[in-house]
Amino acid sequence: MNARNGALFVVSAPSGAGKTTLCKAITESMENLTHSISYTTRKPRPGELDSRDYYFIDEDRFRTMVAAGDFAEHAQVHGNRYGTSKRVLDDMVHDGIDVILDIDTQGARQIRAAYEGAVFIFIMPPSLAILEERLRNRKSDREEDIRNRLRRAIDEIREYELYDYIVVNRDFDRALSELRSIIAAERCRTKLLKSGWIEDMLK
Amino acid sequence: MNARNGALFVVSAPSGAGKTTLCKAITESMENLTHSISYTTRKPRPGELDSRDYYFIDEDRFRTMVAAGDFAEHAQVHGNRYGTSKRVLDDMVHDGIDVILDIDTQGARQIRAAYEGAVFIFIMPPSLAILEERLRNRKSDREEDIRNRLRRAIDEIREYELYDYIVVNRDFDRALSELRSIIAAERCRTKLLKSGWIEDMLK
């Protein structure tokens, strides 16, 4: 009963808003929800694993995949390229698995155009001052990188109206609870329940 | 911050699906959420209080209110009339209070036409057999009333596609949790957050 297609959740946020931690916590705490693994030309950071965090590929292979139409969305961020495999995504949705796509606003616009019914969530920092503080506390970035990330953050926030839901990450537990509510609510959508069981019941 | 209009939740269900108990539990367990009190020409049942459960009025007064355009929605169910005061509803929404309207499909259609952005939730029994069992267990109804309620239940279920969300009340705690998620999620809607704080942040 209730057999249905998987739901697609697109989660975007400016760097430093806490998106990665939130997405990790939500996929660990909810059943039947998985995180889509992106392809990237970026070099692995310390601790990152191929096929777990990303599929790390080179520029040539990325270009070949773009030309073959293998990507559901792809984007360039800070000089690196990122993309989501169309086949992997479609298989998961077809198998009824709910998927989180952790992508930027460029990619979100492509999914919006291609996947009717996808749900768009934007994670907001409570203020630009707090965002800057969080970026500075990472300490791994140079001053120039921090300024680049802040400029890009403002450009991303300007696009918040592309998104269905806004989760303000002031308090982590509250933001996680809101994210969980959005996913649980979307699973009750009438449009996802078109498996005919209600019609069968009325026969 | 986040000053916003109240959200309007329309909850409908066939008699016996558990709507009244669910709506009572949800308004008691969530802040800033209230249950709209309907006007009715029905006689109070044992235990029901005027101005708490309903505003009990006579047929003449109901007709006068209809003629004056006082109702946001009104409907006739099993020979009794029910209506929601437009003024009370608009005041609550204006004051930022989220409101649950526990009304039937006739009323839901009127709200759909008049209140853009209202959220429509349908509580489903898990099966017609279980619905019939629940109606029979009430014991207060005569056989003819039970058959009438069942016929009407089927007519109401046929209209499920009018609703944004379906909550199947198989297990009470799970249904309550789904209802809570829907309300919490809707409070994160981008369209409710148009108080300009994001724009202010970007200035």
* A198–B185 C-beta distance less than 8 A: no
CA A87/CA A92 separation, integer angstroms: 9
Shortest distance between the Cα of A186 and any Cα of chain B, in A, equals 8
* B190–A161 C-beta distance less than 8 A: yes
Count other C-beta atoms under 10 Å from residue B105's C-beta.
Answer: 23
CB B175 within 8 A of CB B122: no
Residue A29 has pLDDT above 90, yes or no: yes
Tens of pLDDT, residue by residue over B41-97, are: 999 999 999 999 999 999 999 999 999 999 999 999 889 999 999 999 999 998 989
CB A72 within 8 A of CB A85: yes
Tens of pLDDT, residue by residue over A63-103, are: 999 999 999 999 998 899 999 999 999 999 989 899 999 99
Give B-chain residues touching A132 at CB under 8 angstroms.
none
Report for A48-62, B127-141, B143-157, B184-198: range of highest mean pLDDT? A48-62
Q: Which two tokens stand for residue B20?
A: 């009244």
Residue A177 has pLDDT above 90, yes or no: yes
Residue B2 has pLDDT above 50, yes or no: no
CA A7/CA B171 separation, integer angstroms: 23
Please tell me whether residue A47 adopts helix, strand or coil conformation. coil
* A188–B184 C-beta distance less than 8 A: no
Q: What is the mean pLDDT of chain A?
A: 91
Tens of pLDDT, residue by residue over A121-170, are: 999 999 999 988 888 887 667 888 888 888 989 999 999 999 999 999 99
Give A-chain residues touching B195 at CB under 8 angstroms.
none
Does residue A38 come out as left (phi exceeding 0), alpha (psi in the -120 to 50 range) or beta? beta
DSSP annotation of A161: G
* Domains parsed from chain B with CATH numbers: 8-202 (3.40.50.300)
ipTM for this model: 0.89
- Taking chain A, what is the end-to-end CA distance rounded to the nearest angstrom? 16
The pTM of this model reads 0.91
Tens of pLDDT, residue by residue over B109-148, are: 999 999 998 999 999 999 999 888 888 887 667 888 888 8
Q: Say what the pLDDT of residue A140 is.
A: 67
- Residues near A35 by beta carbon (within 8 Å), at least 6 away in sequence: A23, A24, A27, A99, A100, A102
State percent of chain A over pLDDT 70.
97
Shortest distance between the Cα of B158 and any Cα of chain A, in A, equals 8
Q: What is the mean pLDDT of chain B?
A: 91
Counted across chains A and B, CB pairs separated by less than 8 A come out at: 82
- Residues near A158 by beta carbon (within 8 Å), at least 6 away in sequence: B202
CA B7/CA A199 separation, integer angstroms: 30
Reported confidence tier of residue A1, pLDDT bands at 50, 70, 90:
very low
Shortest distance between the Cα of A179 and any Cα of chain B, in A, equals 8
